[in-house]
Amino acid sequence: MRGFGSTLGLYRPGEGLLYRWPLAPKAAASLGCAIAVVGWGSVPTTSTVLALALAGLLIGARQSVLQTVRMLLPAAPVLGILALHQGLSQGWVQAFVVVGGIAGCLLAARSVTLTTPLQVLLDGTASLARPFRRLGADPERFALALSIMLRSIPYLAGLFVDVREAARARGLERSPRVAVTPLVLGAVAYAHRTGEALAARGLGEHDEGDDRGQDHERVVG
Amino acid sequence: MQPTEKTSPGPVVDGRPSSRKRWDTTDLSLVAVFAALIAALAIVPGIPVGPLGVPITLQTLGVMLTGVVLGPGRGTAAVLLYLAAGLIGLPVFSGFSGGFGVLAGPSAGYLIAFPPAALVAGLLARAVLRRAARFRTVLLFLACVVASLSTIHPLGVAGLMVNADLSLRDAVLVDAAYLPGDIVKNVLAALLAVSVHRAFPRLLARPRA
């Protein structure tokens, strides 16, 4: 397993207004920004969203300007090309509306993940499923699936790197099939092991009444 | 290692005899691990392919693969779980860092298309695996192509038009740039799916009664 766990370390401890806010209003504001930009793309919308996001990060989370700019780096190539295209074809005002709006939404979303510990984020997500319990949703199983998923990402990413290195050692790095097949087979086997481990602990069963009599049929690995 | 077959699906508790009720812990963890697999493929740098070595990201490969390996129900659930993780802000999407911000981004249409893509690919793959004994790779490849042409590309173009404010012509041109890579990924998904179903024959071929 390699250092991919740090990819998920989004929360950076700090001080500021946003750190003290509960998750719900922050998430609602971030979602509101996205809806506003998609629904009403205009100069006032983009300016407002950008101003809100920057205020949130610079003042609410006390980030430096450099840190804030760095948050947009992963998206920079796409945003740059888009800005150029819009500027040349429809004018620079439109380029600002489109690219500024997207950047504002990305920063707004980042301000939420930056100031909310992962566990709070996960608990909040699972509680979102609660109103849908009547429709058959199961918040506990949803939360369990989410945490298994998070635990699996570093394992799989590390496996992927190992498998690619093995392929490179054989001079086969240009063959995606060689590079990915062991990863996918490993993922399925890993899922089966995890499923059996969960069953052995009685976790993740949908209803306790269902479990009676099944322990004898199951081969626990 | 194969899980033993579950013989009694148990009483239907809330009068909703859906397939959900029959998902055991292995199904649950398959859904979770495949959501993680899509994430791992999306965040690891792309593989250089062909003589030019143009890197392709493997996010859509993960989506297609999830559909054809897990089938429509679990496959769609896995993709939805992946999207949910990305939307709450975990950095599991290619390029962007995740969060509600991606909904305003140019690739929003592609993301929204992922669950229906896995659904269509899963439905077709299940039919292929249960009925066809030969030419499975080719048929699974066609299943992926149908799924991606009917969902990912139309919705992707729509997303480019709405969010990136491109004209229909420009959006189709941008989208077309992804087509060759898509074909490669669909071939790969079919080859991989055949390997997986050969190694784990009970994943999809058995009628889940």
Segment A57-89, tens digit of pLDDT:
888 888 888 888 888 887 777 788 888 888 888
Residue B30: the pLDDT is 93
Write the CATH number for B181: 1.10.1760.20
Within-domain flag for B19: no
Within-domain flag for B209: no
For B152, the token pair is 């990912």
* Interior/surface letters A15-47, b for 16+ CB within 10 angstroms, e for the rest: ebebbebebeebbebbbbbbebbbeebeeebbe
What global pTM score does this model have? 0.80
Determine the Cα–Cα distance for residues B101 and B118; give it in Å rounded to an integer: 23
A180's enclosing H/E stretch is helix A176-200
Task: Decide if A174 and B88 are in contact by the 8 Å CB cutoff.
Answer: no
Residue B21: the pLDDT is 54
Range B189-194 average pLDDT: 91
Residue A83: the pLDDT is 86
Confidence band for B11, pLDDT divided at 50, 70 and 90: very low
Query: Among the listed ranges A114-123, B140-149, B197-206, which one has the minimum average pLDDT value?
Result: B197-206
Task: Decide if B33 and A41 are in contact by the 8 Å CB cutoff.
Answer: no
Residue B33: the pLDDT is 94
Query: Among the listed ranges A4-18, A133-147, B11-25, B172-186, which one has the minimum average pLDDT value?
Result: B11-25
CA distance A208 to chain B (A): 10
Confidence band for B206, pLDDT divided at 50, 70 and 90: low
Q: Give every CB contact of residue A152 below 8 A, 6+ residues apart in sequence.
A: A187, A190, A194, B32, B33, B36, B37
Nearest in space to B137 (alpha carbons), one of B202, B94, B103, B186:
B186
Report CA torsion sign: B151, A147, A115, A7: negative
Determine the Cα–Cα distance for residues A216 and A220; give it in Å rounded to an integer: 10
Chain B residues inside the 8 Å CB shell of A100: none
The three-class DSSP label of residue A14 is coil
Query: Among the listed ranges A51-60, A103-112, A202-211, B168-177, which one has the minimum average pLDDT value?
Result: A202-211
**Per-residue pLDDT for B3 more than 50?**
no
| Residue of A23, A99, A153 to mutate, testing the B interface (most B Cβ within 10 Å of its Cβ) | A153
Range B180-190 average pLDDT: 88
* Residue B140 touches chain A, beta carbons under 8 Å: no
ipTM of the complex: 0.79
Determine the Cα–Cα distance for residues A139 and A131; give it in Å rounded to an integer: 9
Within-domain flag for B56: yes
Determine the Cα–Cα distance for residues B27 and B3; give it in Å rounded to an integer: 10
Residue B1: the pLDDT is 42
How does the average pLDDT of chain B come out, rounded?
Answer: 79
Task: Decide if B49 and A146 are in contact by the 8 Å CB cutoff.
Answer: no
Range B164-186 average pLDDT: 85
Determine the Cα–Cα distance for residues A200 and A204; give it in Å rounded to an integer: 10
Query: Among the listed ranges A73-77, A149-153, B69-73, B146-150, which one has the minimum average pLDDT value?
Result: A73-77
Residue A3: the pLDDT is 40
Within-domain flag for B16: no
For A67, the token pair is 């840190």
Within-domain flag for B11: no
Kindly report, residue by residue over A137-153, the tens digit of the pLDDT: 678 888 888 889 988 88
Within-domain flag for B13: no
Query: Tokens 């998609």 identify what position?
Result: A38
* Interior/surface letters B166-182, b for 16+ CB within 10 angstroms, e for the rest: beeebbeebbeebeebb
Residue B17: the pLDDT is 40
Task: Decide if B37 and A31 are in contact by the 8 Å CB cutoff.
Answer: no
Range A13-25 average pLDDT: 86
Task: Decide if B3 and A196 are in contact by the 8 Å CB cutoff.
Answer: yes
- In percent, the amount of chain B with pLDDT more than 70 equals 78
Within-domain flag for B61: yes
* Residue B92 touches chain A, beta carbons under 8 Å: yes
In chain B, how many domains are there?
Answer: 1
Range of the domain at B180: 24-199
Query: Among the listed ranges A171-175, A212-216, B32-36, which one has the minimum average pLDDT value?
Result: A212-216
Within-domain flag for B208: no
**Cα distances (angstroms) measured from residue B133 to each of A8, A55, B129, B130, B182:** 43, 61, 7, 8, 26
| Residue of A78, A112, A188, A218 to mutate, testing the B interface (most B Cβ within 10 Å of its Cβ) | A188
Among A9-18, A132-141, A180-189, B130-139, the range with the most confident prediction by mean pLDDT is A180-189
